Amino acid sequence: MKLWIRIAIAGVFATSLIPLTARGANGPLSITVTPDLASVRVAWTGASLPAGGHYLVTSSPKKYSCNTVSTSCTIRVAATLPALRFQVAALSSKGATLAKSDPSRTINTVHLFVLAGQSNAAGWSAVISRTSPKFDLWNGSTRSPVDNTAKIMWLGCGLQSSGSTPVSLSTHQHYLPLPSVPTFGPEVGIARRLWSAGWTNVAFVKVTCGGTDLEHFWYQGSDQFTTLVSTTLAMEGWFTAHHTVPVLSGGFWVQGEADAQDLSAATQYYEHGSALIQAVRAATISVRTFPIVLGSIDISQWIQHWYTTNGSCLSKECQDYERGNNEVRAADRRAASELSNVYVVDTAAIPRNNVDYIHIGPEGQLQLGRILGDAFLRVAKK
């Protein structure tokens, strides 16, 4: 008698039928394997156990197992482990094997992160190289193997698209209207921080648009929202087509300067932001409520610049800017306090450039990426 196993990964049947020899178990046995941020759920149907029997799920490499009488189990795994194979056996009360599958196809996973926001998320003033003071992103002391192994897909107004397929993280990004000056955003610092913690299988979706507020540009159904969701789903589809399971593992949001400069938008920042988070999570159909880390903006350096050097900043205007800045920052803290799996890091200590006093330079972008990555790693360990 032969039974058959079908392995499904993330809802897509990814292997051919595998023969299973059985003695005393009913069939056919169908198994679904669903990876998550730090776990794998294995479920099966179609087999019944004799009295006192149980199921045993084991992994290859032989690192994880689950012993149960249920028809599913969730196994905690190291999120940094890129590949696993699973096997399920039905055992008698005395431990005799009644049915045992061949090892499943190797499940290769990639942890997919979404980065979105406005110009500081894009990296508007973060050049990849500079002579004075000297800075070289890809050849400096902070360079990392992840620069060439991580994948990224980017799209957004002002940033020339990477195209319809993922490219290497080290591929130059060109921010208009200066297409000859390559730039980068916090994704490089995030990737390097994750790599240093053992996360070698990472990829990024980056959707940004400079000067955009939540109310008019980042609501459900808006162009920016639609681009964010469609690009994320396209990235997931690309990995699935290339026999890799994409696990939507986290999101990073760096935005709010435009809202802070508009008091009306600033006072509604929490409502607009929480609605956006819920809409994105629902539209991307993640296997979990993935964590989102907010990079809380701060325009105080810009306000101070206007206070001291520009006579057009009237007292009432600057007071509104200060209040708007405080409103947006308070909304970020409230979101981290009240919304599920939302966290916040403060960017106030990161220097802005000395041209417009609002954009973050290359050294600051690496610092921003590190603190965003640190925040995510703290979440992932919980």
In whole angstroms, what is the distance from residue 193 CA to residue 245 CA? 22
Kindly write down the DSSP assignment for every residue of 191-252, as one continuous string.
HHHHHHTT--SEEEEEEEETT--HHHHSSTTSHHHHHHHHHHHHHHHHHHHTT-EEEEEEEE
**Cα dist. 4→24, 101, 251, 366 in Å?**
15, 8, 39, 51
In whole angstroms, what is the distance from residue 164 CA to residue 23 CA? 50
In whole angstroms, what is the distance from residue 198 CA to residue 99 CA? 36
pLDDT tens for each residue of 269-280? 999 999 999 999
**pLDDT band for position 368 (50/70/90)?**
very high
**pLDDT band for position 118 (50/70/90)?**
very high
Of 126-130, 282-286, 313-317, 378-382, where does mean pLDDT reach its minimum?
313-317
Given this model, what pLDDT does residue 13 score?
32
pLDDT, mean of residues 30-57: 85
pLDDT reading at 46 higher than 90: no
pLDDT, mean of residues 28-50: 80
Of 250-264, 282-296, 340-354, where does mean pLDDT reach its minimum?
282-296
Q: 310 versus 271: which is more confidently predicted? A: 271
Structure tokens at 289: 């409520």
Domain parsing of the chain, residue ranges: 2-105, 109-380
Instruction: Please tell me the pTM assigned to this model.
Output: 0.84
**Three-state SS for 276?**
helix
DSSP H or E segment with residue 294: strand 292-296
Contact yes or no for 123/363 (Cβ under 8 A): no
Question: Could you tell me which residues are beta bridge partners of residue 110?
Answer: 246
Given this model, what pLDDT does residue 27 score?
55
In whole angstroms, what is the distance from residue 120 CA to residue 55 CA? 51
**pLDDT band for position 106 (50/70/90)?**
confident
pLDDT, mean of residues 334-352: 97
Given this model, what pLDDT does residue 184 score?
95
pLDDT, mean of residues 121-128: 93
Q: 48 versus 247: which is more confidently predicted? A: 247
pLDDT, mean of residues 271-299: 90
pLDDT tens for each residue of 208-264? 999 999 999 999 999 999 999 999 999 999 998 888 888 899 999 999 999 999 999
Question: Could you tell me which residues are beta bridge partners of residue 129?
Answer: 136
Given this model, what pLDDT does residue 12 score?
36
Given this model, what pLDDT does residue 206 score?
96
**pLDDT band for position 28 (50/70/90)?**
low
% of the chain beyond a pLDDT of 90 = 63
Q: In what order do the strands lie in the sheet with 7-9?
A: 12-13, 7-9, 30-35, 39-45, 72-76
Given this model, what pLDDT does residue 177 score?
65
Q: What average pLDDT does the structure give for the chain? A: 87
| Residue with the two structure tokens 């990477």 | 162
pLDDT tens for each residue of 321-332? 999 999 999 999
**Cα dist. 81→84, 107, 150, 212 in Å?**
8, 10, 15, 38
Dihedral sign computed on CA atoms, order 338, 344, 348, 349: positive
**pLDDT band for position 14 (50/70/90)?**
very low
DSSP H or E segment with residue 324: helix 315-338
Structure tokens at 200: 């070698």
pLDDT tens for each residue of 68-102? 999 999 998 877 776 888 989 889 999 998 887 77
How many CB atoms neighbour CB 217 within 10 A?
A: 17
Q: Which CATH architecture has domain 2-105?
A: Sandwich (2.60)
Q: Which CATH class is domain 109-380?
A: alpha beta
